[in-house]
Amino acid sequence: FNPDEPFVTLVTPTAPIQPSTHGGRAKCLQRLVRLDLPVPRTVALSFGTVHDIANGEMPDLDQLLSQFQPVALLCVRPSSQDPDWGGPGAILNVGMNDASFVELSDKLGAEAAASIYQRFVQTYAIHVARLDPDVFEEIDAQGQQGLSDALMAYEEEAEEPFPQSPAVQLAEVLRSMARAWEGTSARLLRQAKGAPVDAGLGLVVQEMALGLGHGECGSGVLQLVNSDTGLPQITGRYLSQSQGREALAAGAKSLFLEQDDRGPSLQDLAPQAFEELKEHAALMRRRLRAEMQIEFTIENGRVHILDGVRVDRSARGNVRIVVRLVEDGIITRQEALMRVEPRALVELLHRQVDPDAVRDVIANGIAASPGAATGRIVFSAADAQASAARGEPCILVRRETSPEDVRGMHASVAVLTERGGMTSHAAVIGRGLGLPSVVGAACIRIHPKRAQIIARDGRVFQEGDIITVDGTNGEVLSGAPEMLEARLDDSFQTLMDWADAEGEIDIRANADTPADAAIARGFNAHGIGLCRTEHMFFDPGRLTVMQEMIFADAPEDRRAALDQLLPMQIADFTELFRIMHGQPVCIRLFDPPLHEFLPSDRAGLRDLAEALDLPVSDVTRRVQSMEEHNPMLGLRGVRLGLTVPEIYEMQVRAIFEATLTASKEGDPVVPEIMIPLVSAPREVEIVRTRIDAVAAAVRNEHGRDFDYRLGVMVETPRACLMADKIASSVDFLSFGTNDLTQMTYGLSRDDAGRFMSAYVNQSVYKEDPFHILDVDGVGELLTVGFERARAANPDVVMSICGEHGGNPESIAFCRGLGFNYVSCSPFRVPVARLAAAQEAI
Ligand code: PEP
Ligand code: MG
């Protein structure tokens, strides 16, 4: 801190006041002074001065008090650099003593003077002298009796009379506020809001506008918008004969501001003051370039502006507020984009638990898919479907989910699992469907057989009980709290269009079905970056055909199953191409982790036995023979493509047939075909030769030409290291950061949820690496892969398509490296588009 700096600075239009030296409130008050608003005389104390005060170095207060001659009552408020970091509460009426009581009694009447004095004694006793609050809050008497009770109580508790010297009072007030800022709990609180360890506190000392006395006197707050909706509406409260923010706490005793049918208003009581306030607020909005809430006092009809703070607002309100500021020519589009936190858009995209609702939390888990929903507990996909058929919203509760549960997920309003992590089956599918999901809630016990959940605190919830899954916060609540509906209004669309014009990296969607694709288009995704084709077979009818194909022993049985799958896939792909209207569609060849497709219970085994016309015992044996110890490292991805080539051949034939059909209806479609889980360049070579052969056959059969692009998913560490060899023979590479994270850490994406919180709590990992990209390790592999590939093939298109694709931090990382696009779940596209725009601005 600068030792030459004056310890008090009068707030004038030209005084050297900055948020970084005197705090945001001091700076804002200076702006109000510059606008010539009726702001009472104010001085600012710098961070350095307040720091010295906390350490026992009290400056010469006569110099400070001399700024307020003739001596007036003062108020002291905190001024931290960022208002969100908080600070000690304001203290009003400093300087009140027996002498000023006599003076004020003459001016305002004894009643008002006593009331002001009593308030100050009470505040001082509790917040400065730190006496027992109960003693002072119990005093019922008003007026002079109340005052003498308070003074007596003070003397008894403090064992000395109430201090009469204004300089002593002020010194004690400044000291207590400075110390409060240095306290441990205040420090932890502000650090949780992003304040640095050494964040400073400034203080502003302002002459009081009293708000009590003869004529119309009082105080209140006013803003020009509704905080929830962001729509223009004069909101706030006013209370006659009050000070500070009392009007807000006074409930029905306080007045509305504008005349309407809700009851008496400030406009009725003091029309002139009301008009003035509106004008001041409009001027502040225009010149401070933000929606502001003003704190005002009326003194015998005269308006004083004491303070201005940024209007507190919901995420929904904020979007409309910034869009309106642009439309009114006050801020630029770029500024508006920078004023919206990308993750806050989640609040607009999904229903949420009302922040004011009472929350009875019964379990915590991983917030796998945002939004909230209320429904009755069911424990199986079949019960979920039955519940949906009855029109009863239900929540599917499972230890973990598998493809057999997907139909149940479709029928549910939310999902809760005991196991799993950010990229486990339930999480990936939940996000794709936009279904609120909490996974890995290890603190509960699920007993499907007894149809019970045992909550963290031992409470038992039965099938049919009503719970709420809050996938935004990773909490499960008992009962049905109040909700706020999703709201995608015109201002959201406008903001998204502006974001699109700025973003320098494309945003595609991971979309597996026509429904996903339609959502992705609705959010203006720049194409599909990943269609996981195995997800097209979750439908009960289709799942069995898929299982038949996986299970077929003899080539002719497999052929028969594939013949059934072919027309389904042609229809699927044709539909995707149609919906995406010529935008790129990247189709990944089958990557079914086999365990996800094996029947997991007796009913599933029986269904499969029926479909295959085999005894259950045969099917059970076959299932057992296919079981793998590490299915995620087993016969997946291209390994299945190499060992059972007919599967990929069927899929690429379907893609080409669909290409020809869709091209007939519009511009030629150029499909992108992607090979998953590659770890050796030779895998690509083999698959490519087969795809080329199918392409030649389809061209021949139809007598028509078409083009396609071939790409590889880089999701094993080896593929990153060999990226140069792989890139030289393909058109694009897409980095699958889910598997890459799993394999880099040697951490199962399905099971890590069990101990992830222990790892994060002990700071072994900064965050769940399945959620936030691990820049140091996985990021290094991405960098190596990216650079080697680029050097070997300058034209190769590169992207990431793991779940990280939708995270603002990962987008920054990808843009920094030079990736062409990121691909994420459809509902995360808007968040990603905004984050990409902010990166570019
Ligand atoms: C990945 O591994 O990052 C990926 C996108 O593929 P999947 O999640 O389907 O394994
Ligand atoms: Mg993968």
* pLDDT tens-place string over residues 485-542: 887 889 999 999 999 999 899 999 999 989 899 999 989 999 999 999 998 987 777 8
- Answer yes or no: are the C-beta atoms of 528 and 669 closer than 8 Å: no
Give the Cα separation of 277 and 655 in Å (integer). Answer: 66
The rounded distance, in Å, linking the Cα atoms of 74 and 611 is: 85
Q: How far apart are CA 413 and CA 483, in angstroms?
A: 14
**3-class DSSP assignment, residue 139:** coil
Q: What is the DSSP letter of 256?
A: B
Structure tokens at 447: 């007993």
* Fold (CATH) for 8-207: Dna Ligase; domain 1 (3.30.1490)
Which ligand is closest in space to the CA of residue 744? Answer: 1
Angle at the Cα of 406 from the Cα atoms of 405 and 410, rounded to 5 degrees: 120
Whether the CA torsion 735, 738, 741, 747 is positive or negative: it is negative
Least distant ligand from the CA of 810: 1
Cα separation of 377 and 392, whole Å? 11
736 annotated ligand binder = yes
Give the number of whichever ligand sits closest to the CA of residue 530: 1
Q: Are strands 672-675 and 585-588 parallel, antiparallel or unpaired?
A: parallel
Query: CB–CB of 9/43 below 8 Å?
Result: yes
Cα 221 to chain centroid distance, Å, stands at 29
CA distances (Å), 412 to each of 193, 386, 445, 675, in order?
A: 36, 10, 20, 33
Task: Give the sign of the dihedral formed by CA 272, CA 305, CA 217, CA 238.
Answer: positive
**Going by DSSP bridges, is the β-strand pair 445-447/372-378 parallel, antiparallel, or unpaired?**
unpaired
**Buried-state track 259-268, b at ≥16 Cβ within 10 A, e below 16:** eeeeeebbbe
Q: How far apart are CA 417 and CA 406, in angstroms?
A: 13
Pinpoint the alpha helices (H) of 328-424: 333-338, 346-349, 381-389, 406-411
Q: Is 348 helix (H, G, I), strand (E, B) or coil?
A: helix
Q: Which atom of ligand 1 is nearest to the CA of 739?
A: 2
Q: Which two tokens stand for residue 676?
A: 């998953």
Cα separation, 830 vs 841, whole angstroms: 17
Q: Any known ligand binding at 785?
A: no
Q: How far apart are CA 561 and CA 589, in angstroms?
A: 17
Protein residue whose Cα sits closest to atom 1 of ligand 1 = 736
Annotated catalytic residue 801: yes
Which of 547, 550, 562, 566 lies closest to 610, judged by CA? 547
737 marked as part of a ligand binding site: yes
Distance, CA of 717 to CA of 715 (rounded, Å): 7
Catalytic residue among 28, 75, 720, 801: 801
Q: Quick one: tokens of 300?
A: 């015998």
Closest protein CA for atom 3 of ligand 1:
736
Question: In 3-state terms, what secondary structure has residue 193?
Answer: coil
Place of tokens 């974001």: 499
Distance CA 222, CA 199 (A): 30
586 is catalytic: no
The letter for the amino acid at 215 is G
Ligand 1, pocket-test mutation among 532, 781, 828, most atoms within 8 A of CB: 532
**Among 350, 425, 595, 804, the one annotated catalytic:** 425
What is the CATH architecture assignment of 218-313? 2-Layer Sandwich (3.30)
CATH 3.40.50.2300 is the classification of domain 503-537+552-592+636-840: no
Other beta carbons within 10 angstroms of residue 540's beta carbon come to 13
What's the CA gap between 529 and 349, in Å, rounded?
Answer: 21
Q: Comparing C-alpha atoms, which of 478, 631, 464, 623 is closest to residue 553?
A: 623
CATH topology agreement for domains 218-313 and 503-537+552-592+636-840: no
* Residue 715 annotated as binding site: yes
Give how far the C-alpha of residue 46 lies from the chain's centroid of Cα atoms, to the nearest Å: 34
How many angstroms is it from 803 CA to the middle of ligand 1? 8
How many angstroms separate the CA atoms of 377 and 416, rounded? 10
Q: Which of 739, 801, 825 to mutate to test the pocket of ligand 1 (most atoms within 8 A of CB)?
A: 739
Residue 74 identity (one-letter amino acid): L
The tally of CA atoms less than 13 A away on the side-chain side of residue 793 is 20
Give the chain's largest Cα–Cα span.
107
Spell out the domain ranges in the chain: 8-207, 218-313, 351-484, 503-537+552-592+636-840
Distance CA(686)–CA(792), nearest Å, equals 20
Position 3 scores a pLDDT of 54
Which residue in the block uniquely carries the two structure tokens 């650090």?
A: 191
What 3-state DSSP class applies to 691?
helix
Six-digit token pair at 125? 């006793």
Give distance in angstroms: CA of 472 to centre of ligand 1. 22
Tokens of 253: 């005793």
Most informative mutation of 639, 733, 738, 822 for ligand 1 (most atoms within 8 A of CB): 738
Residue 2 is assigned to a ligand binding site: no
Low-confidence ranges of the chain (pLDDT < 70): 1-5
In the chain, the amino acid numbered 276 is E
- Per the CB < 8 A criterion, the answer to whether 44 and 79 are in contact is yes
Helix axes 829-840, 808-817, angle to 10 degrees: 50
Token match 């903001």: residue? 495
Pick the closest to residue 828 from 399, 532, 448, 529 (CA basis).
529
Residue 1's pLDDT is 46
Give the closest residue (by CA) to ligand 1 atom 4.
Answer: 736
Q: What's the gap in Å between 341 CA and the centre of ligand 2?
A: 29
**Which amino acid is residue 416, in one-letter code?**
L
Ligand 1: atom nearest CA of 423 is 8
Among 422, 423, 589, say which to mutate for ligand 1: greatest number of ligand atoms within 8 Å of CB.
423
C-alpha dihedral over 42, 45, 47, 49, to 10 degrees? 180
Residues with CB under 6 A from ligand 1: 428, 530, 532, 591, 715, 736-739, 801-802
Atom nearest to 737 CA in ligand 1: 3
The alpha carbon of 290 and the centre of ligand 1 are apart by a number of angstroms equal to 42
Distance 784 CA to ligand 2 centre (A): 19
- Nearest residue CA, atom 8 of ligand 1? 738
Residues whose CB falls within 8 Å of the CB of residue 2, separated by 6 or more in sequence, listed in order: 48
132 assigned binding-site residue: no
Do the strands 585-588 and 528-532 form a parallel or antiparallel pair, or are they unpaired?
Answer: parallel
Q: Which two tokens stand for residue 84?
A: 């969100």
Q: Cite the beta strand spans of 158-227 per DSSP E.
A: 201-207, 218-225
Which ligand ends up closest to the CA of 590?
A: 1
Indicate the residue type of 271.
Answer: P
What is the spatial distance between Cα 608 and Cα 613, in angstroms, rounded to a whole number? 8
End-to-end CA separation in angstroms for the chain: 33
- CA-proximal residue: ligand 1, atom 9 (nearest): 532
> What is the CATH superfamily name and number for domain 351-484?
Phosphohistidine domain (3.50.30.10)
Backbone angles phi, psi at 720, to 5 degrees: -65, -45
Token look-up 């990308």 returns 342
Q: Which residues in 464-501 are b (16+ Cβ under 10 Å) and which e?
A: eebbbbbbbbbbbbbeebebbeebbeebbebbbebbbe
